[in-house]
Amino acid sequence: MADAKKLYIKTYGCQMNVYDSERMAEALEGDGYEQTQDMAEADMILLNTCHIREKAAEKVYSDLGRMKPLHDAKPDLKIGVAGCVAQAEGEEIMRRQPMVDLVVGPQTYHRLPEMMKAVNAGGQALDTDFPPEDKFDHLPKRVLPARNPSAFLTVQEGCDKFCAFCVVPYTRGAEVSRPADRILLEAEALVERGVREITLLGQNVNAYHGHKDGLAGLIWKLSEINDLKRIRFTTSHPNDMDDALIDAHGTCEKLMPYLHLPVQSGSDRILRAMNRKHTADDYRDLIGRIRDARPDLLLSGDFIVGFPGETDADFEATMQLVRDVHYGQAYSFKYSARPGTPAAEKEDVPADVATARLHELQALLSAQQYQTQADMVGRKVEVLFEKKGRQRGQLIGKSGYLHAVHAEAPEAMIGTVQRVRIVNDLTNSLTGELVA
């Protein structure tokens, strides 16, 4: 029997790309590929890309350039580019890097086996369509060995919001929801393989409409799977946090007390320019309602500083919103113009001003994150242990609040939820001890 060909996948960007990379690897198994973590031994390299920020896209071209010596030494090496950069710049990728054999968009990777036939015949393959068929209907069934206790599961793709800074509607297309019955079948298969926590993914996941009762209805159905212990979802838009979903945070025991809900700015003027269709006070009121339902909720968010036209007063409004809301975790970035978006045509804030604002915002967000972690010390929390730690006899897991937790525990507890008392907070994690 011939040796299996080796597939190396590098994933950029969001959790949805992590999920997509898993599914692409499964699609290529039928073509004789098995995954490797060593690029040097690969027969095929696949870059699953992100196009949200300029540096992310340019990094892809930089990585391709670094692969040229490897390709020169191994002429039969196949190189593919997938994901959102592939969708946006497919022909340009092949023009700039002729060694690329295959370019596939995020909605067409179910066609990979067919594309590989053209590549194996000595040609190139490019497919960045938005096909009428559902790619999930054409992907192989997920009958795989036991796996990590946590898994991602895409339930919704695309976005109809058209924020002025964002390329997602152009690279991922319109909002599409997977039928609930298919999601439930995939979730049950994951649980049979040892998964105990599922994170539901979507570019705008709380716009999910594949169940008659929306995302909340899907969560309640998933909660009926006996051995599924935890449910999370990301990423959400404030305008789609309906009453049923808010209520689920307060009443569904399996829905974890963590919510990633981006606001982007605290200035109403900038929010209008971003086409966010909500105000800062709308967001504050929404957070208040969610915390009324789940007082211990840990909130995460996204912020963009230096958006075109942002003044000192606009930036101070963002800082005030952060002080008012208090985030346990957050992501913040300088505005990055993306070609084809409305904001790309506007004049940038001076780079040094944007950088200074980003540092000031990140200092405040970091202080809130560290305070949140410090406040965990002495509390008893439920931890899902996922793997062995670096120290002998130590396991690493996640609390319901998505904090990484280290504790001494027997290896047999991997994949189980255990009660742990937090005894110390570190820079990016917590340490604890099992509660008898």
**pLDDT tens string for the chain (436 positions)?**
357 899 999 988 777 788 888 888 888 887 789 999 999 999 999 998 877 666 667 788 888 998 989 999 998 999 999 988 888 788 888 888 899 999 988 878 888 888 888 888 888 888 877 666 666 665 666 555 456 899 999 999 889 999 999 988 887 888 999 999 999 999 999 999 999 999 999 999 999 999 999 999 999 999 999 999 999 999 999 999 999 999 999 999 999 999 999 999 999 999 999 999 999 999 999 999 999 999 999 999 999 999 999 999 999 999 999 999 999 999 999 999 888 899 988 999 999 999 999 999 999 999 999 999 999 999 999 999 999 998 999 999 999 999 999 999 999 999 999 999 999 999 899 999 999 7
Q: What are phi and psi of 278, to 5 degrees?
A: -150, 160
Dihedral sign from CA coordinates of 191, 194, 198, 203: negative
DSSP 3-state of 181: helix
Distance separating alpha carbons of residues 365 and 371, to the nearest angstrom: 10
| Residues 36/6, Cβ–Cβ less than 8 Å | yes
Q: Cβ(385)–Cβ(410) under 8 Å?
A: no
Rounded Cα gap, residues 310 and 283, in angstroms: 19
Kindly state the helix (H) or strand (E) to which residue 63 belongs, with its residue range.
helix 54-73
What structural domains and CATH numbers belong to the chain? 5-127 (3.40.50.12160), 141-256 (3.30.750.210), 270-375 (3.30.750.200), 380-434 (2.40.50.140)
| Beta bridge partners of residue 7, listed in sequence order | 35, 44
